[in-house]
Chains A and B, each alone.
Chain A
């Protein structure tokens, strides 16, 4: 009892004293801290006037964060990074596909046959699990090995806070927190990482907005889809000398559309579900530092590239098996996959897509990386194209992009399908890892559901509109 008395006395004394000090305790406190800091620093620090500090930084910042040149330079940098990634990954990609898919796959298949594996197990393991993994490696490794180091170099140099600085005004106009620009930039690498990085935002309201809109940053699992489809359908209709440039431009358009939509949705949320004040914050622009090139190359390759690739492989293995199963288990002589596809096709055509794409997005919920291989495989098994691939449920890589194009065209794809797939790839549910991360961060099923379904609704709306417009002109 005595204990209790003493404790209550502490609390009541504090309450009493709080009134005596007045309401501005926090200000008094901060003032004292600043005052103390200044006194100590004045004693210990001397500034020589041999040159004005940070002169080079200031000059660079004048250009990189200027009202006029800031955003164009940002877009130009993005363009260079993507162009290098698209052009640079072509050759290594087909080389890897040649080794892993064209050479190793038939060899493994024969090996298991000679070991008397049952047909179904052979198919499940080699045509399902192995091939999907091999495809993911050959299509993802080269672009990631180029994209991540380039991005990390920019990050090491100190460019990212400048991006946030440039975007800050736009985000504030949308009623969101300026730091959302930083979390958006993280999302370009991985949305799950982007969602975690929203912890730098103080206000729960603004943090929630940043979490919900992070999915509008194209993550690296979706870059390969964008790049491949842009190369086939956009690059395909352009003259050869413009193809690379136009494909890169199309990918940038989608990425910028994502940024625009994240602003638009943020604005919509602050006007409806998440009304409130914009909180102020200070953004520190760190000095530019010369990137440590070798170390950056090493860490971005080992930590980022291999890490993301490993994740993709882990998800590709079971997904490959599931694809093989739904393509080979038949009900009334028609595979499960084809049942689904023919049921969904009539609806999908409203959105300029098809049943194959919808099924691929269901199977690929764990990882966006495997959307394209799933689409190709399902298209082939549905058409019964025997000259490609190795039978139903077999994921495969095609030697050249023109082979891929040929399959998609014979599957009834048009320029519209290509454009809408790029749009839908930007605007659909986050992958399961991201959904789980959103739940962990928000602890709310409601907001997890909003983050999951809002992009799908947006995606279907936009693809519906593009389809109607496209049909008007054709």
Chain B
């Protein structure tokens, strides 16, 4: 875990963790919002605990976190608010816990979305990654449980993966804190705008679907030029999502940037 190409001090791992100040539940005046998303039981809460110093209950079973948990940390002089989202397999269904995750990424507009995947089940986890990349441009992939993957003879080329997805990919073993330095560095790079992601956009074999999406996106550009995730909105419209239709009719969709995270989601424990 050494940084060969970055000899200067600011990029040295020791310096990085030295810079990490766990703020617990103290989240006043934060500069950036970081969301932790991913499939159930991939270690989101473990990463959350590591970053914030909190002790959100972790357990080896899917569905452990059903509400949002929030905490804070300070890194390189900036304050971050971290939101631990419930694990989901997809953003297309309607259970209460999946809605929390989807609404937050869509409307809460986190500055960085850290997508945590189980390295031993990468292909299945990628289904969610692809959906999240449809919604947000500022994301990074955390290849968690990399040790288990190695033990099971699974080798993942993180550079190829990063190129494919168009976002940074960082292998971690959050249980023992391995890879957290690099993760922190990347979070701050994306948050401060030093690293621009070019996320993978889904390609469908159905020409009709692709054409329909393009057609609606064009209309959306005209009406809501600042809307950050037009392709996703187009998809939801094609599916007939009533809440999206309503927010278009009322024009609310255009004000998405004005949404306060706290006012959008119920303050839950």
Contacts and interface: CB of A to CB of B under 8 A. Distances in A.
* Chain B associates with chain A: yes
Interface of A: 3, 6-11, 13-15, 17-18, 20-21, 25-26, 28-38, 40-41, 43-51, 53-54, 152, 155-158, 160-161, 164, 179, 182, 196-197, 199-202, 207, 282-284, 286-289, 292, 299, 302-304
A51 B95 CA distance: 38
A161 B63 CA distance: 10
Nearest to A302: B55
B96 interface: yes
Interface in B227-269: 234-235, 237-240, 245, 248-249, 251
A14 B237 contact: yes
A161 to B, nearest CB: 5
A15 to B, nearest CB: 8
Given A10-B223, A44-B122, A31 B156 contact: no
Interface in B157-175: 157-158, 160-161, 164-165, 175
Interface string B200-224: 1011111011001001100110110
Interface stretch (B9-17, B27-35, B103-111, B126-134): B126-134
Contact of A44 (B124, B156, B208, B245): B156
B215 A17 contact: yes
Interface string B166-210: 000000000100000000000000000000000010111110110
B153 A47 contact: yes
Interface of B: 40-41, 55, 57, 59-63, 66-67, 86, 89, 92-98, 120, 122-124, 126-127, 129-131, 148, 152-158, 160-161, 164-165, 175, 200, 202-206, 208-209, 212, 215-216, 219-220, 222-223, 234-235, 237-240, 245, 248-249, 251
Given A33-B131, A47-B153, A18 B238 contact: yes
A65 to B, nearest CB: 14
Contacts of B158: 44
Given A14-B238, A17-B212, A36 B130 contact: yes
A32 B202 contact: yes
B268 to A, nearest CB: 9
Contact of B60 (A157, A196, A202): A157
Contacts of B155: 45-48
A112 B249 CA distance: 70
B223 to A, nearest CB: 5
Given A17-B212, A196-B67, A54 B203 contact: no
